[in-house]
Structure 1
């Protein structure tokens, strides 16, 4: 693989006249990094998937790093994304290793990505690592689309239900109230209750909107705080069916990441630390932190430490134990990743099928309750009991 080995160049070999240029590039990089994160279209999973896949493919065919970046830049329409890759390319040409150039943009590229690239450079498997990163982000994109697809229907149904109920309480029910008031009869309790709700409908729905707004703001401002992540993850893990899907999502990510790192022959403690920083799921992060400490300080095997945490299924632990015995972690983690990915898709399909009838029933109950409450006095009037 004809890839430029930038690791062999020392700092002394970099011309002194470039030191000022490197300092300026660093400040430009810092400014550009901030600008990228504030820009509406971020250098997100979709862009990263294309970048890593194309760069890995080009390097594997023998294209040098400079030419590879130039080829990729030509197909990028976004000027800020192109400027980002241009900066990384210039840093590499100036003498930096690829992972060092990427690490400068810490708000765009995670520590996991930078360390994976570093591992690829040190082991001579850079092209393979880049392709694996591309596959990782491709699976992330696919997962996000599946989740959006599953959640679109309930969001639409809930929104329609709220609008329909609000319209009926605010406009339809008052018409019936006027009719019932003229009769002077005693209304059924269910109708009286609905009238009270109708009189307070505006306040109820304004409160609901404020509540939703507070939840959104709380999520935006606190989503990276430990207390928020701890309690939200605990809440979702208590929801039937959904908790299984969430568990499989992060188990698939764990296995995919461990497969990449074990294939690159990364030390187990370093691999666990990288995966912990990347996983972004509190129960698993907390578990991996404890596992890493036990593996490093007490010399325990990975399967022994994982067995103490319920987030990891017994089958996964048994297969990891097997991989440690036969020294084939990469193969086992690949099989586990494929298995959890398949189970994850099945779980999403199940949730999708459950959500549709559940929300139809809920909407029907709301509308049915209003109709019964309104028409019950009319039936009593026709029978002479009102």
Structure 2
């Protein structure tokens, strides 16, 4: 959102009022609706420091208050909505009934507000746009598909199946991470206890004997000093840093792009993000193509649900290629994201008129690749886990025993 300054003539006096809008056209429209008097001009301006702080505080609090709907409740609600829509019950009544029946507070609030928006004349997808965080990009993309094709109930059934697949993958991910997570927590607790209670005892001994301290021991003593004297401050600083980071990610597109780009270069994480994104993209795209949506429009909707900005940028180039008259396989090839086998399959689908079938096969292939990564996640994390554990053990061992060996050698030398 950009900051604009509206100059308004009211009661013979000029007054300048700040407002936020996407562009000048929207700012003019908003100023006419909100302010009374003659609007002389609306110009883009520098946001005052006080307004920046106020916006930061409001956004931060709103992000803290936001809660995603629990997957189980969302899937059940989507299935209920599909059944009711198929039975001919109006969307407004269906949403209100689901909101009244659910035990999830976030779902109750979201569905009630969407029902109110629909009652005001908005479409279901446009009403859901206000709750993208709570519902997710995939939900909005599939509802948009249902409205375009006139088969909202089918789109909702497909959406529920996709959400169940995603939930199953998340469950697999959590199970794969359970053992490494528990081991690392145990090591962190043990390390904290040693730093807090054991290392200070050795520090007293080393000071009394005036022992020469090697680098590992100095590191341990510094960590012990920081933890015992500034522990709460360090935790508070980490919490503030996390909130600022989260705020910056949500409100600064350039920073978010850089962060997403870094994740795509990180060991193991890059493959999880890449194949999960391509799996969902091809799955939604295949549904759109099967429903008879034009390729360029189907690409636009499918790309809209992608969270990772660098991947989104690459896939947007596919849409541009298609809009200029190029083939889909050429656009996909230019991104560098798809293997040659996939390009050949898409080319064969375009040539034979079976593109929807081929894209469905591609979606199944990427789902298989993603499932394979999740299944092998535990083995892939083990080297990292062992490296961290070994580093902690070596630091503790060398930090405590090296000075003791030096003192032992010194005593033997004197004898």
User: Above 0.5 in TM-score?
Assistant: yes
1:299-324 deviation digits (Å, cap 9, x = unpaired): 00111112111233333222222221
Count of paired positions: 346
Match of 2:170 in 1: 144
Is residue 141–residue 302 contact of structure 2 (8 Å, CA) maintained in 1?
no
1:317-347 deviation digits (Å, cap 9, x = unpaired): 2222222112223222222222222221221
Match of 1:201 in 2: 226
Match of 2:336 in 1: 310
Is residue 233–residue 282 contact of structure 1 (8 Å, CA) maintained in 2?
yes
Match of 1:20 in 2: none
Matches within 5 A, 1:78-89: 78=104, 81-82=107-108, 85=111
| Alpha-carbon distance in structure 2 between the residues aligned to 1:266 and 1:321 | 19
The alpha-carbon deviation at position 213 of structure 1 amounts to 3.1
Equivalent position to 2:158, from 132, 139, 161: 132
Is residue 174–residue 198 contact of structure 1 (8 Å, CA) maintained in 2?
no
SS at match of 2:305: helix
| Further displaced range: 103-112 or 122-131 | 103-112
Is residue 52–residue 134 contact of structure 1 (8 Å, CA) maintained in 2?
yes
| Alpha-carbon distance in structure 1 between the residues aligned to 2:175 and 2:376 | 13
The alpha-carbon deviation at position 76 of structure 1 amounts to 2.0
| Further displaced range: 351-360 or 103-112 | 103-112
| Alpha-carbon distance in structure 1 between the residues aligned to 2:234 and 2:362 | 43
Q: 1:198 to 1:58 in 2, by over 3 A?
A: closer
Equivalent position to 2:322, from 287, 295, 299: 295
Equivalent position to 2:299, from 272, 281, 286: 272
Is residue 112–residue 274 contact of structure 1 (8 Å, CA) maintained in 2?
no
The alpha-carbon deviation at position 63 of structure 1 amounts to 5.0
SS at match of 2:212: coil
Is residue 316–residue 336 contact of structure 1 (8 Å, CA) maintained in 2?
yes
Check if 1:285 corresponds to 2:336.
Answer: no
Match of 1:346 in 2: 372
Q: 1:319 to 1:368 in 2, by over 3 A?
A: same
Q: Which has the higher strand share?
A: 2
Match of 1:229 in 2: 256
Check if 1:257 corresponds to 2:284.
Answer: yes
Q: 1:210 to 1:162 in 2, by over 3 A?
A: farther
Check if 1:362 corresponds to 2:388.
Answer: yes
Matches within 5 A, 1:240-255: 240-255=267-282
Is residue 117–residue 127 contact of structure 2 (8 Å, CA) maintained in 1?
no
| Alpha-carbon distance in structure 1 between the residues aligned to 2:296 and 2:129 | 22
| Alpha-carbon distance in structure 2 between the residues aligned to 1:267 and 1:325 | 16
Matches within 5 A, 1:209-220: 209=235, 212-220=238-246
Matches within 5 A, 1:77-226: 77-78=103-104, 81-82=107-108, 85=111, 100-108=123-131, 113=139, 116-117=142-143, 119-121=145-147, 123-151=149-177, 153-184=179-210, 186-187=211-212, 189-190=214-215, 193-194=218-219, 196-198=221-223, 200-202=225-227, 209=235, 212-224=238-250, 225-226=252-253
1:67-122 deviation digits (Å, cap 9, x = unpaired): 86677456423467456546656777x696xx814422422257865564454355
| Alpha-carbon distance in structure 2 between the residues aligned to 1:190 and 1:70 | 66
Is residue 56–residue 127 contact of structure 1 (8 Å, CA) maintained in 2?
yes
Equivalent position to 2:355, from 329, 333, 353: 329
Q: 1:219 to 1:135 in 2, by over 3 A?
A: farther
SS at match of 1:104: helix
| Alpha-carbon distance in structure 2 between the residues aligned to 1:308 and 1:204 | 52
Is residue 120–residue 264 contact of structure 1 (8 Å, CA) maintained in 2?
no
| Alpha-carbon distance in structure 2 between the residues aligned to 1:181 and 1:82 | 63
The alpha-carbon deviation at position 255 of structure 1 amounts to 0.7
1:152-173 deviation digits (Å, cap 9, x = unpaired): 5555544544443343234212
SS at match of 1:106: helix
The alpha-carbon deviation at position 227 of structure 1 amounts to 1.2
Is residue 100–residue 114 contact of structure 1 (8 Å, CA) maintained in 2?
no
The alpha-carbon deviation at position 282 of structure 1 amounts to 0.7
